[in-house]
Chain A
Amino acid sequence: MTTPRTPRIRPIDFEHGRIDLTHGSGGRVMAQLIEECFEDAFDNAYLAKRDDHANFAVNAGRMVMSTDGFVISPLFFPGGNIGSLAVHGTVNDIAMAGARPLFLSAGFILEEGLPLRDLKRIVASMAQAARDAGVAVVTGDTKVVERGKGDGIFITTTGVGAVPDGVDISADRARPGDAVLISGTIGDHGVAVMSKRAGLSFETEILSDCASLNGIVADMVRAAPGIHVLRDPTRGGLGAVLNEIALQSGVGVRIRERDIPVKPAVHGACEFLGLDPLYVANEGKVVCFCAASDAPAVLAAMKAHPLGRDAAVIGEVVEDSRRFVTMETTFGGARIVDWLAGEQLPRIC
């Protein structure tokens, strides 16, 4: 990097230091933090220019834009942290349009007292996740709030991407007869995070599935450019996403419990806590609706990708003016998979 560095007395002590209000003051200390923490990690020419914006050429075709805020607690969880999540989350929202993610912006709200070591670790994970996904973090912002007014760190990322011609993927395009596919096991992220929550810590080998899905989505779109709907089942889990799609497309969805992949350890944790894996969050799974005739090709593309080894066809779209999602249970009965009412809370009895 050729940009001259801000004159200063000594380098930041990432080992013992903490965020204080001067890190957001706009003065020399802030400039130093931006250089030593963010620019070094994200390392690209756009950022190095130190403008308040990133300047890039726009190709022909359609652009896709999405934004997402990250407030997860705990900041570090088995399989990831808030930094990697902040990249995966927005990359995936872009990817769900069948688009190739290109650039990210990142806004950081840091709480006074946050250990600089934690910040450095989080930013390093972000940078690694961005490199893995092939996107650059090209502009950003840092603010510091007083102790007690944040939860360590909040991150907002915004992304832009480009959609290839002929691809039109949207949650209002599900049609009766469509096949419903999922790229792998559900509930991993939610259970991994819950296992580290205060008051609930339990031992589990489950890691968060958090991952950027643009690679597997590109393979799926290549296999079947006519895919109707893609969505990543994050908050609210598979249950919420299927209901959103049913509502937006004006259709019913019928799924089969026995075909939905769930890891035994996730199943066990959910039994133990009284939760339903259908409503537990994922951060590295994609739900796909496509014409039944495209399903074999899409499934094969998913299974050939490392993130889609456990992919499965889990149901189909039906006509239903009430837009219900129903499920054939493993037990042999049927039930609704409804929207979640409020938060999913453990049952006490």
Chain B
Amino acid sequence: MRYVDEFRDPVLAKRLAAAIRAEARPERTYALMEFCGGHTHAIFRYGVQDLLPPNVRMVHGPGCPVCVLPIGRVDLAIRLATEHDVILCTYGDLLRVPGSRRASLYKARAEGADVRMVYSTLDALKVARDNPGRQVVFFAIGFETTTPPTAVAILQAKAEGLKNFSVVCNHVLTPAAMHGILAADGEMRVDGFVGPAHVSAVTGSDAFLPFPRDFGKPVVIAGFEPLDVMDAVRLLIRQLNEGRCEVENEYVRVVTPEGNRKAQALMAEVFTLRDSFEWRGLGPLPRSALRIADAEAEFDAELRFGLHTTAVADHPACACPDILRGTKKPTDCKIFGTGCTPDNPIGACMVSSEGACAAYYTYGRFRAPEETSVA
């Protein structure tokens, strides 16, 4: 398939792997965090780690929108669906995410709640139009990639005068999470970042300029194809070797320095910053998420239904916070592959296929010692 196969070419991959081996200095290690779940998925699905030398280690970041949604917000979605008799629309990935006491939207649906999987915010609007007698709520999740479409839906609902449509906004901001990881106390073993792909198409690569400047960590924006990831790894190694520290853009076929201005304007029109928002695995991070702006408050389901989020602590044995900061690997966690599996996830990183633990369990487990890998 054009525009895809070129970026999965095994011959180019071998050549790039050789270049990386040649450039990586044997006397040091390189710990590189890919922020996005899309990168994590590509690394495992194509076996990218196999092509990297042993002293180049990928650290799998928190950039999976489903994984980072805190338990309290999942509980809120379940309460909304079961107690307020609404039609709750959301992206499919979220249905399996466990809230408190292993409840999930899937299970709520089995118990009679009207929960519908949609592929786009416009599908949710259609549900609202088709069911004028019911309240329809879109439970919005995701980073800067899925935020503009939510803004479009709200403005469209306003234009149509759709009174039965509202949104629970859980949109979160990538730079804020990277900032949260770097600013946290304690050990941090990341030398540089593979920067987000689709997120950067919206924010622009300039949004990442503070990271080299304030934290001394280079960032290379990369696409989601395996060759993109390898190319970014080579560029990061080169920066580290040369003592440079800057934002580079490998994904020039999509990402510009300033990003998608129209999408940014839509986001600014419809949303405003929350003072603080909890991230599963990372805890509360200041100014890291969006809520619906006062001008559009009539579409805010949290106000319409008087919803409140109750903070719920993550499982005590879960090592997600350390895994997300790169100080532990999934296999270092006591409950990895035993108490916590993709079928019965406990921690954030196991929840979606893009989470570090789920990707490791699903695609990489055969490298682990036998005793940790029997399901």
Contacts and interface: CB of A to CB of B under 8 A. Distances in A.
Interface of A: 199-200, 264, 267-268, 271, 276, 321-322, 324, 326, 329-336, 338-339, 341-343, 345-349
Contact of A333 (B38, B51, B145, B358): B51
B65 interface: yes
Given A322-B374, A342-B96, A348 B66 contact: yes
Contacts of B226: 331
Nearest to A334: B47
B146 A333 contact: no
Contacts of A322: 366, 370, 373-374
A324 B365 CA distance: 9
Interface stretch (B8-16, B70-78, B320-328): B8-16
A116 to B, nearest CB: 27
Interface of B: 1, 4, 8, 10, 13-14, 17, 36-38, 41, 44-51, 63-66, 91-93, 95-96, 106, 117-119, 123, 141-143, 145-146, 198, 226, 341-343, 352-354, 358, 361-366, 370, 373-375
Given A331-B226, A332-B10, A333-B49, A345 B363 contact: no
A199 to B, nearest CB: 5
A330 to B, nearest CB: 6
Given A329-B46, A335-B47, 11 more contacts: A199-B117, A267-B1, A276-B45, A329-B45, A334-B47, A335-B44, A336-B366, A342-B342, A345-B117, A347-B353, A348-B142
Given A331-B226, A348-B142, A349-B142, A336 B1 contact: no
A59 B22 CA distance: 70
A333 B47 contact: yes
Contact of A347 (B13, B41, B143): B41
Main secondary structure of the interface of A (DSSP, over half): loop
Contacts of A346: 91-93, 119
Contact of A348 (B8, B10, B51, B93): B93
A322 B198 CA distance: 37
Contacts of A326: 366
Contacts of A333: 46-51
25 contacts: A199-B117, A271-B4, A322-B370, A322-B373, A324-B365, A331-B46, A331-B51, A332-B50, A333-B49, A333-B50, A336-B362, A338-B362, A341-B96, A341-B341, A341-B358, A342-B96, A342-B106, A342-B342, A343-B96, A346-B119, A347-B354, A348-B66, A348-B142, A349-B38, A349-B65
Contacts of B106: 342
B312 to A, nearest CB: 22
A324 B366 CA distance: 7
A336 B364 contact: yes
B150 to A, nearest CB: 12
A335 B364 contact: yes
Contacts of A276: 45
B116 to A, nearest CB: 8
Contacts of A200: 119
Contact of B93 (A264, A267, A345): A345
